[in-house]
Amino acid sequence: MEVITLFRCIDCGIEGEQSSRGRKRLRCAPCRKLVPDRRTYAERKVRRSAGTCDACGGEYRRQHRDQRWCSMACANKGKRVAPAQGLSPEARERQRLYWQEKNRRRRAAKRGGASEPYTLAEIALRDDFNCGLCGKSVPMAVKVPEALAPTIDHIIPVSKGGDDTRANVQLAHFVCNSRKGARELAA
């Protein structure tokens, strides 16, 4: 419930009304415009309430009422999201492969090319586990971003109008595929 009380201006002596919800007034509106806040930055800073950082537990002076951290570094620590719990490594790998395939289909459809489902393992078996760019053996246990990791290379890049089909892909080392980029190599 809001209570209206009277106050007397310390500069001109005129009485005015103030509500119980706001700060206690010492000056009327015309006098407030004439008299700026004469406190120094240090005097204003002293009035700030102390807080305890949610991330590191250290004490700090609050800049605003809702502040929870002492610095941006602690704020970023507090905002980090923990990785998904409860997924087995096999489930995470299935999820990664699903999104990889979905994104390949989406990119091909965006450019008007054909697409068909395939997996890295199918292409590796078809190509006899050899890199289509350098001809050397590709170890399947290695993961990207290692140089010899297995990747799918589009012979005619999707960005140049190639299809995302088994006929247009080959097995390649990560480093070989990265060097080739979005170029067509002469046969």
pLDDT in tens, 29-68: 777 666 666 667 677 666 677 888 888 888 888 877 788 8
Could you give the C-alpha distances from 129 to 30, 135, 187, in angstroms and in order?
84, 9, 20
- 53 and 13 in a common domain: no
- Assigned domain for 45 exists: yes
- To 10 degrees, the CA torsion angle through 8, 12, 14, 17? -50
What is the Cβ-side half-sphere exposure of residue 130, based on CA atoms within 13 angstroms?
Answer: 7
Which domain range does residue 70 map to? 40-78
- 74 and 107 in a common domain: no
Q: Is the pTM of this model over 0.85?
A: no
Task: Count up the domains in the chain and report the number.
Answer: 3
- 106 and 141 in a common domain: yes
- Asked if the model's pLDDT at residue 98 lies above 70, the reply is yes
Report how far residue 89's alpha carbon sits from residue 92's, in angstroms, rounded to the nearest whole number.
5
CATH of the domain at 165: 1.10.30
